[in-house]
Structure formats: C-alpha cells, structure tokens
Amino acid sequence: MLKASRDYSCVSDIVSFIDESGINGLVRNLKPEDDEKISLICALPIPAEDISFVRQLIEPYYKIFRNAAPIGQKLHITSAFAPDQEQWRVAAEVARDGIFDVIKTRRLIIIYAARRAGRTRLAYERNKEDRVRAAIMNQESDLTIPGIERPGNDFTLEFPMLTLLAKINSFLYRLGRLRSDICSDDIDPKWRRAYGEIIKDLHEIRESNCYVKKRKISTNEIIKFNAKIKLETNIEEIPSRIGIILDSKKGQCVGDDPLIFMADIVANHLHRHLSSLDIASPLNASESISGWELGMRTVISKNSCLLDIV
C-alpha cells in the first residue's frame, strides 16, 4: 500500500477532490420551471503520492484568485463572475486558464455525474403515483423499511452522488487501486449524511436482514414481517473501494486547499458547458462533453447512463 502525504489518511492510495454545481434541494420541491436546471457533482481523483506535487502546481493560480478577492468574500469561482466583480473576474480567468493547463499537461483525470431536474421531478412524481395507486388497490399502505427515509426527503444530488461514487469505484478497480477517500469544501451536513447512508447501504446490500411493516387502511392494522435482501453481483460493481469524507476540522486534510479550488473551477466550468446543451441532449455521454476544453481528460462510460434515462 502506498503511503499518503502527511495530511491525508494512509489507508487510501487516492484522494478524490470533489465539488458540486447547479441545483441541489429537496426533490419534492421541484417545479416544472426547474426542469432545465442541472445537478452536477465532479471529482478529480489524485494518487496520494502525487498530491503534494499537484498542489504545488495549482497553488500559484489559487493565490492569484485569492489575492484578488474582496475582503471577507467567500472564495468560490462563481462569486468572481458576479456583475460587480470585474477585477476579480480577470484574476479568476487567469487562474482558470493556468489550472486547466496543469490538468491537461499533467494528464489529471475528471469524473462527473449530472442529471436534469426534470428527470428527477418526473421520476419522483411517477414513484409517488405508483405508491398511491398500490395503496388504494391493496387497501394497504406502501411497504416501509424502518430507518429508510421516505422519497420526499431525497435531495436532487443524491442519485448523481451515487452514480459518481460507482464511477470512481470502477475507475479504481481498473487501475488496481485500493481505496479513494473524498475531500471537499464545506460539505453540507445533509450531503455528508446522504453520503454515509449510500456507502453503508452499498457495503451491506449484498446480503442483509431487515423487517418490513405495512398498514391495512381498512382496519388500521400494522403488519410486520422479516425480509432478506441478497444482491448477486461482481465485487467490482459495489463501491467497496470508496472511503470516508475527509474533515479538515479533524486534521484529516488541508482546510484552505488549492486542490479543492481546482475542483470548484472544473465543476462550474463543466456545469456551464452542459447547461448550453439542448434539454433533450444527454448529460453523461461522450457527445455531452464534445467541445468542452477538458473533454479529453474526462472519463465517460461507453454505456448509456441511468441519469440520462430515468
């Protein structure tokens, strides 16, 4: 096992620096006018032995961006492109161009997952209609498994997050790498909680026992029964190589990290590119990144992505 740099866990031989861009909120709150909006999550996986070197290459461009920022302003790339930030915008463009050159010359890898809000909204509404229809036909409520959240509590970014983790896992498997931890800036507690649940479920889903309960509407009777879930699949298809979310407050990673800024720039630039596509166009196919500056450094599956279908 490769030994990581001083500021990252030695149990992982890759750290994936990630950032999100676009719409992220409760699925149940989506409206038809949101359909064109995109939820995107992007990762740059870097081998642990290369982290310090890549950080040194990115740091000068991060300093250009940071030094031009107004006092007290959060250091996010989108803030520099506000209408009243012309000077900061110039610095942001210089930083972006320099970082993109590093990504291209050092052949860094980009992995992403994106989904239109329209697909998320329609899938939720179909699911809700099916549950109501089944309850009426059976005179019972839908089956529930204690501890599993109701669909109405899902966030728009959860399915893209799950897809991204599966893509990273597949990438690690092909490289023969052992594990990737995740590093991001100011992760929303809801995001962190959803991540933990996804990893827990995917690690345990191969075979697990639980009890299921349902309620008969006519008698209000609660019925419970045991259920056994077993998934037959190849080991590489389960994101068992995905590690923890590193926390700067616990000393697991650098707080003000140029590599997180790099992920911020890439995610927002990719989001802007995907937003220019026709609403009927896929977001996760090779044609989706045609013409994008970093398209040649981006991993794309040959198969259609579920995020573009359901």
Distances in whole angstroms, Cα of residue 216 to Cα of each of 137, 149, 224, 253:
11, 21, 11, 51
Over 70: is that where the pLDDT of 206 sits?
A: no
Average pLDDT value for residue range 109-117:
94
Place of tokens 């596509």: 277
Confidence class of residue 207 from pLDDT cuts 50, 70 and 90?
A: low
Confidence class of residue 233 from pLDDT cuts 50, 70 and 90?
A: very low
Over 70: is that where the pLDDT of 121 sits?
A: yes
80: Cβ contacts below 8 Å, ≥ 6 apart = 65, 68, 69, 88, 89, 91, 92
Contact 70, 59 (CB under 8 A): no
Q: Around Cβ 285, how many Cβ atoms within 10 Å?
A: 16
The model scores a pTM over 0.75: yes
Average pLDDT value for residue range 94-119:
95
Q: What is the pLDDT of residue 148?
A: 45
Q: Mind listing the pLDDT tens digit for each residue in 7-34?
A: 444 457 899 999 999 888 777 888 889 8
- Average the pLDDT over each of 89-103, 105-119, 296-310 and give the range with the smallest value: 296-310
Q: What is the pLDDT of residue 147?
A: 46
Q: Mind listing the pLDDT tens digit for each residue in 243-262?
A: 888 876 676 777 689 999 99
Confidence class of residue 214 from pLDDT cuts 50, 70 and 90?
A: low
Is pLDDT larger for residue 15 or for residue 158? 15
Average pLDDT value for residue range 179-205:
70
Confidence class of residue 44 from pLDDT cuts 50, 70 and 90?
A: very high
Contact 61, 95 (CB under 8 A): yes
Average pLDDT value for residue range 175-182:
87
Q: What is the pLDDT of residue 75?
A: 84
